[in-house]
Amino acid sequence: MPVTRSQIAHRTLTGRCPNCGRFGIFKNWFRLHPACPGCGMQLEKEESGFYFGTTSIGYVLAIVLVIIPVCILVVLDKLGMWLGVAIGIVGSLLLCTLLYPVLLCWVLMLYYTVQADELPANRPGSDDE
């Protein structure tokens, strides 16, 4: 196939279109453009799935990286309970917000490496690069 899985992984993890490798698939911090500005590939076909997956990974990361360490500190009496709660809430929100585009790239990477034949460039009859 014209676009290999390792190319797809490299492109999506650097925030580029999996199909043509161009930058600019992000409309803003939290959203993708409906289609790639370079090749026109539909990016919103699985939109709800992408965003749902990204939010889920964000929750899991927040629990592992913020909530659990804060709980341990509270249990060990290194941190007051209400301060711990406040840090947990603010920290989780910040983590999810700051990492959102990175996580979205991971979800795109997972989706398109698993379904590499779904890319327009990999469909039979398309122009090879």
Asked if residue 32 binds Zn ion (CB under 5 A), the reply is no
Told to check if 36 binds Zn ion by CB under 5 A, we report yes
List CB contacts of 93: < 8 A, sequence separation 6 or more.
none
**Binding window for Zn ion (CB under 5 A); candidates: 31-39, 58-66, 67-75, 108-116:** 31-39
- Candidates 40-48, 66-74, 86-94, 115-123: pick the segment binding Zn ion (CB under 5 A): 40-48
Q: Where are the alpha helices (DSSP H) in the chain?
A: 5-13, 47-62, 68-75, 81-114
When the beta carbons of 22 and 78 are compared against Zn ion, the nearer one is 22
User: Facing residues of 14 across strands?
Assistant: none
Binding status of residue 8 toward Zn ion by CB under 5 A:
no
Q: How far is the CB of 73 from Zn ion (least distance, A)?
A: 45
CB of 30 to Zn ion, least distance (A): 20
Spatial distance between the Cα atoms of 104 and 31, rounded to a whole number of angstroms: 9
Q: Is 125 exposed, middle or buried (0-12, 13-18, 19+ CB in 10 A)?
A: exposed
What angle do the packed helices 81-114 and 47-62 form, to 10 degrees?
140
Does residue 39 interact with Zn ion by CB under 5 A?
yes
| Choice from 3, 8, 9, 20 touching Zn ion (CB under 5 A) | 20
Give the footprint of Zn ion on this chain (CB under 5 A). Answer: 17, 19-20, 36, 38-39, 41
